[in-house]
């Protein structure tokens, strides 16, 4: 992992209240680029989930993966509430991430 990698749990969406995808990664910048180009996952490509609507930075990949697994078990409304706590308009947060 490069010294510029950004370990995170994140949620992608195609629009406000639309399809959502939860993931974790050891390099958020690279992973977001993959999602935006349609190569991130078959699910995000199929449903057009190319908007970063929520993310949480971690210091260890194990913590990010654990958080992802927990969020994936949540009801959809809980995920929507999590997003809307800090991003009520579901804006793309990509440009607000720390620089590489």
Question: pLDDT tens for residues 46-87?
Answer: 999 999 999 999 999 999 999 999 999 999 999 999 999 999
Domain 8-96 CATH assignment equals 3.20.20.70: no
> Are 6 and 98 a contacting pair, CB within 8 Å?
yes
* Strand ranges in 14-99 using DSSP code E only, listed in sequence order: 20-25, 51-57
Joined tokens for residue 83? 């997003």
What average pLDDT does range 6-10 have in this prediction? Answer: 95
β pairing state of 20-25 and 51-57: unpaired
Question: What confidence score (pLDDT) does residue 100 get?
Answer: 56
Q: Which residues pair with 54 in a beta bridge?
A: 11
pTM of the model: 0.92
* Strand ranges in the chain using DSSP code E only, listed in sequence order: 8-13, 20-25, 51-57
Q: Where are the domains of the chain?
A: 8-96
Q: Which of 81, 85, 23 is nearest to 52 (CA)?
A: 23
HEC sequence for 4-17: CCCCEEEEEECCCC
């Amino acid at each position: 992992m490069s010294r510029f990698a950004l370990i995170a749990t994140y949620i992608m969406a195609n629009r406000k209240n639309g399809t959502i995808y939860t993931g974790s990664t050891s390099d958020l910048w690279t992973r977001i680029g993959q999602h935006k180009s349609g190569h991130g996952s078959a699910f995000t490509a199929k449903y057009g989930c190319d908007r970063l609507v929520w993310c949480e930075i971690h210091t260890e990949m194990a913590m990010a993966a654990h958080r992802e697994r927990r969020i994936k078990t949540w009801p959809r409304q809980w995920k929507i509430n999590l997003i809307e706590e800090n991003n009520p308009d579901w804006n793309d947060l990509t440009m607000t991430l720390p620089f590489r």
